[in-house]
Amino acid sequence: MTQSNTVEEIVSQPYKYGFITEIETEKIPKGLNEDVIRLISAKKNEPDFLLKFRLRAYKQWLKMKEPDWSGLTYSKVDYQDLVYYAAPKQDIKKKSLDEVDPKLLETFEKLGIPLSEQKRLSNVAVDAVFDSVSIATTYKEKLAEHGVIFCSISEAISEYPNLIEKYMGTVVPINDNFFAALNSAVFSDGSFVYIPKGVECPMELSSYFRINSGDTGQFERTLIIAEEASSVSYLEGCTAPMFDTNTLHAAVVELVALDNASIKYSTVQNWYAGNEEGVGGIYNFVTKRGECRGKKSKISWSQVETGSAITWKYPSCVLQGDNSIGEFYSIALTNNCQKADTGTKMIHIGKNTKSKIVSKGISAGQSKNSYRGLVSISPNAEGSRNYSQCDSMLIGDKASANTYPYIQSKQPQSNIEHEASTCRISEDQLFYLQSRGIDFEESVSMLVSGFCSDVFNELPMEFASEADKLLALKLEGSVG
Amino acid sequence: MISSTSETILSIKDLHASVEDQEILHGVNLIVKEGEIHAIMGRNGSGKSTLSKVIAGHPSYKVLSGSIQFKGKDILELEPEERARIGIFLGFQYPVEIPGVSNLEFLRVATNSRRKELLKSELDTFEFEDLVKERLKIVEMNPTFLERSVNEGFSGGEKKRNEILQMALLEPVISILDETDSGLDIDALRIVASGINRLSQPNAATILITHYQRLLNEITPDFVHIMADGKIIKTGNKELAIDLEKSGYDFIDTNTKEKEMAK
């Protein structure tokens, strides 16, 4: 049908962030062994406990096998052919932004993340990570006034080793899975957030991850701790240049919410997806998990996944504290040869715990988009409830969508609801919009936005319109 | 309002069109001039709705031969959105629901695309809200409709009023209203009809597609056309509609038979 062909043309539009920044980079030689891990740790002046943590993880990793249960097929990564540490050459510690290489500032500005004092966003603090290192964090002082710590994980390791030692690896253990073990051994940088007791973080916190080098694996590590009765909203953005080789991105994110604390974690993932034939692009193999350790605590994940050749991630909530709440709101848009296998796990352990899952998958081209999720209710989780809704939209007739909801309940007094639907962009809806003067492209993107609106409503304000634009951009192109 | 110097807005000549490879229109001829109100009546399946969709450019309907001109310009090559922008409006018999898309935002984008064509400035959210609130009065709609998703959960009557609201905002040159009266109770019919009357302009025209005479009690047509088997088989004034109401569609059959016999 010509109509759907045109829709397919629309969803294929060039990647806007594919440029490379020419900058002198310090890289260590390719390959992975104990010495490399010692070298990374030494470069970062890490305390002994952390080196030991890395080495333990490495030993575990050696014993583990790359998983293949998902049915995702990809050319396997040669782990000895990757660089595990790359950093733009500059003086070790930057006091102020003026000292940061202007090229780096320019790069982030081009990506829509201005860092300089005049231009930076007024209500969002940003930690900008370039390849393996954090180059700048804005509004640190202002946050410090409230006792909020927001800095790179490297800085946190040297400044707040007690917090790191207490929490790192407690949500995602080093042997959790193959990629988490690898990350634990070689992670380079990432963000650290600590919200003290009773504090409501005064602004949005945000990390922006940029992969620049082609043969470098990106292994960032994020740790967010919300003490009793505190709250924070954090968001994460990612882009990478276009390379015809596949770059591995294996991050670990750990969230800890104590009594009455709340963490909202939002992601807009727009890593390079590879070309139309599926050459190149990022392998996005990420472990994200949050623990509601305290009573009445709440963790809410929202994600807009538009990039990467392969996305394989399940941001999860372990609902330990009684009356705690877990939420997962997801939009995954795949096109061309992209594959996404994403979803969540809601593990109900405490009494009266609640979880809600809303997933919207949009597949175009020949892409494959799967929702995979687990709702598990343990014997002690009396009075627990879950509601899941998984909707898929197909564009064209070569794309596929799957839903794999796993439900395990060992508690008869629990309540689990699941709804799922699959639809195509309807010709009648398109014609209705067009017959009001709205052009085809805009009509398609309006319908897609409408389909995703339940999730957009959950994104932080500044961010919702950005995400909407990103989807529109992905759906934009030249129509004949 | 009609004078011999009135400009022709729509001129349809010997139009043949099909849907799913089945020919539905078998040679429709119709001329609509400024200031005129036309009613097209006919049984289900006579091709009335098909005609309206073909004029608006629905991609499932193929024009096999013949022409449609709008103000002297052939429009068959134009996309539906281009037809809308130059002032062709189709009021749907069954307006679709579009979940998640805000009615207000939809109306604003639509209005601005028409305004752009008319070289008027585009309206921002605040300016548009002022305009839409004023136009809401024409259809006696509650502003809460603006907050909802397009047509989602609207009753039949609310959907039709939302169509007339769109007509009020887009200020079309020709409005084709496809069974706007169907499924309306007396009150809703009166509101919709008075909206249509208030919106009629000396330099614009309206085509009412309807099954029943009752809408024509509220809106007086200048011409009544009867469609059967993909053609306009009879044209008259509003008396024709009244005759039709009295004797039912069988009277067409008799007439047609007579004609056939005469041949």
Nearest to B81 among A3, A440, A454 (CB): A440
For A280-314, the three-class secondary structure string (H helix, E strand, C coil) is CEEEEEEEEEEEECCCCCEEEEEEEECCCCEEEEC
What does the pLDDT read at residue A129?
75
* Closest approach of B66 to chain A, Cα-based (Å): 22
Are B80 and A435 within 8 A, CB to CB? yes
Query: Scanning the structure block, which residue is given the tokens 């038979």?
Result: B257
Smallest Cα distance from B4 to chain A, Å: 31
Where does residue B14 fall: left (phi above 0), alpha (psi -120 to 50 degrees), or beta otherwise? left
Cβ-contact A265, A301 below 8 angstroms: yes
Structure confidence at residue A192 (pLDDT): 94
Residue A454, chain B, CB below 8 Å: the answer is yes
Short-list B44, B43, B47, CA closest to B249: B43
Is A438–B110 a contact, with Cβ atoms under 8 angstroms apart? yes
Amino acid identity of A382?
E
The CATH architecture to which B8-262 belongs is: 3-Layer(aba) Sandwich (3.40)
Rounded mean pLDDT of chain A?
Answer: 84
Structure-model confidence comparison of residues A121 and A137, the more confident one: A137
Q: DSSP of A309-378, one letter per residue?
A: SEEEE--EEEE-STT-EEEEEEEEEE-TT-EEEE--EEEE-STT-EEEEEEEEEE-TT-EEEEEEEEEE-
Task: Give the gap in angstroms from C-alpha B54 to the nearest C-alpha of chain A.
Answer: 12
Record: contact A435-B117, CB cut-off 8 A:
no
Asked whether the predicted pLDDT for residue A215 surpasses 80, the reply is no
Mutate to test the interface with B, among A4, A6, A393, A432 (most CBs of B within 10 A): A432
Retrieve residue B44's tokens: 């289900």
Q: Is B110's CB within 8 Å of A450's CB?
A: no
pLDDT of residue A477: 37
A5 band by pLDDT with thresholds 50, 70 and 90 = very low
Q: At what angle do helices B103-117 and A440-456 cross, to 10 degrees?
A: 160
Task: Find, among B110, B105, B103, B195, the residue nearest to B146 by Cα.
Answer: B103
CB contact under 8 A, B166 and A426: no
**Which tokens go with A334?**
């795949």
| pLDDT tens sequence across A375-405 | 999 999 999 999 999 999 888 788 888 899 9
A431 to chain B, any CB pair closer than 8 A? The answer is yes
Sign for the CA dihedral angle at B1, B3, B6, B10 comes to: positive
Q: What proportion of chain A, given as a percentage, has pLDDT over 90?
A: 42
Q: Please indicate whether residue B10 or residue A249 has the higher confidence score (pLDDT).
A: B10
Q: d(Cα A74, Cα A57) in Å, to the nearest integer?
A: 25
**C-beta separation of A247 from A216 below 8 A:** yes
By mean pLDDT, which of A41-55, A203-217, A228-242 is the weakest? A203-217
Cβ proximity of A255 and A263 under 8 Å: yes
Residue A97 — φ and ψ, nearest 5°?
-65, -25
Q: How far apart are CA A88 and CA B221, in angstroms?
A: 77
The yes-or-no verdict on residue A91 having pLDDT over 80 is no
Using a CB-CB distance cutoff of 8 angstroms, which residues of chain A are in contact with residue B103? none
Q: With CA atoms as reference, report the closest residue to A313 among A359, A260, A378, A380.
A: A359
**Average pLDDT, integer, range B159-178:** 94
Q: Where are the domains of chain B?
A: 8-262
| Phi (first) and psi of residue A214, to 5 degrees | -80, -35
- Residues in B closer than 8 angstroms to A450, CB to CB, are 98-101, 149
**CB-based contacts of A460, cutoff 8 Å, min separation 6:** A204, A233, A235, A264, A266
Q: How many other C-beta atoms lie within 10 A of the C-beta of residue A163?
A: 16
Cα A198 from Cα A235, distance rounded (Å): 21
pLDDT tens figures, A406-449 = 999 998 889 999 998 888 888 899 999 999 999 988 898 888 88
Burial class (CB in 10 A: 0-12, 13-18, 19+), A119: exposed
HSE value, Cβ hemisphere, 13 Å, CA-based, for A137: 26
Name the helix (H) or strand (E) containing B40: strand B37-42
Q: Which residue has the tokens 């907050």?
A: B147
Indicate the residue of B84, B95, B100 with minimum beta-carbon distance to A450: B100
Query: Cβ of A5 under 8 Å from any chain B Cβ?
Result: no
B22: burial class by Cβ within 10 Å (0-12, 13-18, 19+)?
Answer: exposed
Choose the weakest-confidence range: A17-21, A75-79, A125-129, B39-43: A17-21
Least confident interval from A23-37, A186-200, B179-193, B205-219? A23-37
A&B contacts, CB < 8 Å: 80
Q: Residue A52 — pLDDT band, cuts 50, 70, 90? A: very high
- Beta carbons of A208 and A244 less than 8 angstroms apart: no
The pLDDT tens digits for A228-248 are 999 999 988 766 666 666 778
Closest residue, chain A, to B102 (C-alpha): A450
Q: Which residues of A touch B57 (CB under 8 A)?
A: 434-435
Cβ(A391)–Cβ(A362) below 8 Å: no
Q: What are the residues whose beta carbons fall under 8 Å from the beta carbon of A384, sequence distance 6 or more?
A: A319, A348, A351, A352, A353, A354, A355, A377, A411, A414, A415
Res A6 pLDDT > 70: no
| A437/B59 Cβ within 8 A | no
Pick the more confident residue, A41 or A69.
Answer: A41
